[in-house]
């Protein structure tokens, strides 16, 4: 590691938000952020919809639990912790925007508070009854720790999402998630969600920090198993237990993400793509930034 490079300490905070219990969920998340800060963490990731809960019965219920990003009590509380404890935070929250509702992730820094918002692109199951599909693309946020991207849960099943973050130079992808059981998942194998995070990290040279919730909400079980993966695709923390509140911790050198894309004297993961056969940015309008 070069003398000017520093290790980044990452935490994934795995807990059980309760649907409708917004004040309690915020209090629980803040307590875990304080614990992470006590452990010297630089960046903490909270689960998907960690302020509202996940399994809504009606659109009215879902909408009542959302907030405009600029007015969100969740973001206000998380930003206060970030500033006071010198902590970067990526947290899932329910975002209102006029008459629309989004399943979103807030990116918060000590210096700026709310730096930006990612809106879940690929909706899972009944989410389509309550949320709009994300409309912000795949932004990469520049921070003093490095370049951070975000995906949410089912987004991780789409290799294009990971690749578009890598093409823009992301070092780390934070994944607030509420993974649910896969019907054909073998009991003796790692969860498919973990395998997808590992594969994406390996094929793009990205660090991945995925924070999942636990518990059963209105008959829907969640699988926990939060994980932190290095840019070679190997877990450096976790997977966490399936049903226990947990704080996963790992120290990583985020600069290795960019270096790791050069595999040997002949091969570089992003340069080797056959852009004569498929679009360099997969038909999107983003500007490549990995060079």
Active-site residue list = 48, 120, 153
Compute how many other C-beta atoms are within 10 angstroms of the C-beta atom of residue 243: 16
Q: Scanning the structure block, which residue is given the tokens 């130079």?
A: 169
Q: Which of 46, 110, 122 is nearest to 83 (CA)?
A: 110
147: three-class secondary structure by DSSP: strand
Using the 8-state DSSP alphabet, how is residue 69 labeled? G
Locate the DSSP E strands across 98-239: 100-109, 113-119, 140-142, 147-150, 172-177, 207-212, 216-217, 220-221, 227-229, 235-237
Task: Please enumerate in sequence order all residues whose Cβ is within 8 A of that of 156, keeping only pairs 6 or more positions apart, or say none.
Answer: 162, 175, 177, 193, 196, 197, 200, 210
């Amino acid at each position: 590691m070069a003398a000017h490079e520093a290790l980044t300490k990452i935490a994934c905070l795995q807990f059980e938000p309760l649907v409708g219990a917004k004040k309690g969920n915020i209090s629980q998340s803040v307590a875990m952020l304080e614990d992470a800060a006590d452990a010297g963490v630089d960046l903490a990731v909270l689960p998907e919809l960690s302020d509202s809960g996940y399994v809504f019965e009606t659109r009215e219920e879902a909408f009542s639990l959302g907030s405009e990003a600029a007015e969100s009590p969740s973001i206000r509380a998380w930003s206060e912790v970030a500033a006071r404890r010198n902590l970067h935070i990526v947290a899932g929250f329910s975002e209102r925007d006029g008459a629309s509702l989004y399943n979103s992730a807030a990116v918060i820094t000590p210096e700026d508070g709310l730096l930006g918002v990612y809106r879940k692109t690929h909706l899972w199951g009944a989410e389509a009854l309550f949320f709009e599909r994300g409309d912000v693309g795949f932004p990469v946020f520049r921070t003093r720790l490095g370049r951070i991207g975000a995906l949410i849960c089912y987004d991780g099943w789409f290799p294009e999402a990971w690749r578009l973050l890598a093409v823009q130079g992301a070092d780390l992808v934070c994944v607030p998630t509420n993974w649910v059981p896969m019907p054909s998942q073998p009991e003796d194998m790692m969860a498919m969600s973990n395998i997808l995070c590992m594969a994406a990290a390996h094929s793009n040279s990205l660090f991945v920090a995925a924070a999942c919730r636990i518990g059963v909400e209105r008959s829907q079980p969640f699988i926990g198993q939060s994980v932190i993966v290095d840019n070679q695709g190997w877990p450096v923390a976790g997977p966490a237990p399936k049903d226990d509140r947990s704080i996963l911790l790992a120290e990583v050198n985020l600069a290795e993400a960019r270096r790791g894309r050069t595999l040997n004297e002949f091969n570089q993961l992003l340069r080797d793509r056959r852009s004569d056969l498929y679009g360099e940015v997969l038909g999107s309008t983003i500007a490549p930034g990995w060079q």
